[in-house]
Structure 1
Amino acid sequence: MKNLDERTITQAVIERNSLSSNERLKDVMLSLVQHLHAFAREVQLTEEEWEIGINFLTEVGQICSPTRQEFILLSDTLGLSTLVIAQNHKKPMGCTEATVFGPFHVQDAPHLELGDNMSEGVKGIPWFVSGVIKGIDGEMIPNAVIDVWQADDEGFYDVQKTDLEIYQSRAIFHADQNGKYYFQTIVPEAYPIPHDGPVGKMLEALNRHPWRPAHLHFMICAPDYERLVTHIFKAEGTYLDSDAVFGVRSSLIAEWIKHENGVAPNGEYQNNPFYTLAFDFILNKKLTQDEGA
């Protein structure tokens, strides 16, 4: 094809991409090209702006590392992550809602026993978290895998600390035979997402803050049930209505109850204040092949 112009270039690209034998890829690329070209036409994109965009995406890629995923931050702050989650996790009423995954999960978190302190040695206010993993019909789910991670009381995740040689404030637990889980950690605080890179510059240019409300991450897996990736947010916490990554759901806001002192859930006497959180997770069943047909 020769002599393509602003009226003919879109169809030319679509026809070239139609050579693929992957039908899903063709559908995705068809829509991507149509919308991308329509965007450029709608805003009358200049060459200077096109170059700024290319440089921005290049910087996003260059700052990524095994412990920092700037593309996830970009997706989160543009609301794309929440949109994709909402489209792909339509659940029956009563199921625990999903929310954004975030950029700080790791695959090889330590496995701990129920009741263990996943923030051992980390300064902060003790926090005792417990609950039950259930199915939508009320059945207890035994041995569910519960992957938990969080920031510390200064708003940093362990992977952001270059001087740490071990993981902290993250662990994998297994629910007991009755679906119960319980563990100890510390109370996390609200924190800004990493804003020293291109995504931070974008937020600053848009007069947006980078802060997230205090929360605890969970990823829960069990046979015959859909995987759940979610957070639990602190009731009356800051930034609940302006989360930088649009991840807050009303159903995921819970009371983190403060106790001045006394006997904690682990049976030990606490001389100083501590917190407790009780939260049950309701998982959705996976569709069988017959149900999905």
Structure 2
Amino acid sequence: MGTSSLFTEDKSAELVVESVGAATDPRLREVLSSLVRHLHAFVKDVQLTNEEWETAIGFLTETGQMCDDVRQEFILLSDVLGVSMLVETINNRSLELATESTVLGPFHMVESPPRESGDRIALDGKGEPCLVTGRVTDEHGTPLANATVDVWQANDEGFYDVQQPDIQPERNLRGLFTTDDNGEFWFRSIVPRYYPVPVDGPVGRLLKATHRHPNRPAHVHFLVTAEGHRPLVTHLFVKDCPYLGSDVVFGVKESLVRDFGEVDDPVRAAEVGFDNPYRAVHFDVTLLAEARAEASR
């Protein structure tokens, strides 16, 4: 064995990259090689100490241990570091004809129950009633019938159902809707509230150590799908929320901000089963055909 193949600081990354077998999947080789080079360069740049590396390993270990069926601490870590939003932006930068996307977030951990158009998703009766209406079309404005609109949101105190299993009804403020022949959907909910991401784990300690607030602006999550079209993960943000400009996960886009305005219409209120006045918001969604999306990449 020649000494040229032994580990040294100067050629550390090159030795690891060269150790990858010739039969390795090309994309895996590309991604892993870049990761190794950047990671080794980072360690050299900051002159990482043994104690700091042990702390980092402990942090990542605890992050994994915090993950379960209803909580994904690694997604939360990716979110607060801006990586989730960066990946989302890179993968959608050429899709300007579609509604803008944003992060999935760490709370899409359970299936939303199928619901009929007009159903209430606020099962506990709490919060300020809000009528949500919208339409799903393709990039030409053609309505997409039978599209699925998956929605989920926090309650009026800033908690998701999975965070309060002993307080909120199961699947509270979640719903899976299907658009009609005109591509339209509507449901009854409440005005969402801003809320802090979970801070009782390693990500929370990281935010505290870096003097960052943990808050997300008020929003409703949407996951919209239709046959032959690229799925869309997006949010509907409440205008004038104080955290629009400092979202802890960097997910706000101006095109997704809406006024959840007050409606004074006794007739319409009676039709939808609300007291008058009530709040309402409209959100049209444009999906891009899969073939068009692939051509744009």
The bucket for the TM-score relative to the shorter chain is over 0.9
Equivalent residue in structure 2 for 1:212, among 212, 216, 220: 216
Kindly provide the CA deviation profile for residues 164-193 of structure 1, in whole angstroms up to 9, marking residues without a partner as x: 562110010000011001000111100000
What amino acid does structure 1 have at the position aligned with 2:290? K
Is 1:168 paired with 2:169?
A: no
Q: Give yes or no for contact 1:261–1:271 (8 Å, CA) kept in 2.
A: no
Greater displacement, 11-20 / 194-203? 11-20
Kindly provide the CA deviation profile for residues 208-247 of structure 1, in whole angstroms up to 9, marking residues without a partner as x: 0000000000000001111000000011111000000000
Aligned twin of 1:28: 31
Q: Give yes or no for contact 2:194–2:216 (8 Å, CA) kept in 1.
A: yes
Partner Cα separation in structure 2 for residue 290 and residue 112 of structure 1: 32
Equivalent residue in structure 1 for 2:253, among 249, 252, 257: 249
Equivalent residue in structure 2 for 1:16, among 16, 19, 22: 19
Q: Give yes or no for contact 2:94–2:296 (8 Å, CA) kept in 1.
A: no
Aligned twin of 1:129: 132
| Residue pairs, 1:149-164, within 5 angstroms | 149-163=152-166, 164=168
Greater displacement, 255-264 / 19-28? 255-264
| Residue pairs, 1:21-100, within 5 angstroms | 21-100=24-103
Moved over 3 A (4+): 91-94, 263-266, 268-273, 288-293
Partner Cα separation in structure 1 for residue 270 and residue 181 of structure 2: 19
Greater displacement, 121-130 / 213-222? 121-130
What amino acid does structure 2 have at the position aligned with 1:221? T
Partner Cα separation in structure 2 for residue 289 and residue 187 of structure 1: 33
The answer for unaligned runs of 5 or more in structure 1 is none
Deviation at 1:121, TM superposition (A): 2.5
Kindly provide the CA deviation profile for residues 105-137 of structure 1, in whole angstroms up to 9, marking residues without a partner as x: 134221000001011223111110001101111
Is 1:221 paired with 2:217?
A: no
What amino acid does structure 1 have at the position aligned with 2:287? L
For these two proteins, the number of residue pairs brought into alignment is: 293
The answer for unaligned runs of 5 or more in structure 2 is none
TM-score (norm 2): 0.93
SS of 2:127's partner is coil
SS of 1:173's partner is strand
TM-score (norm 1): 0.94
Please give the root-mean-square deviation of Cα atoms over the aligned residues, in Å: 2.0
Greater displacement, 10-19 / 242-251? 10-19
Percent identity of the aligned residues?
44
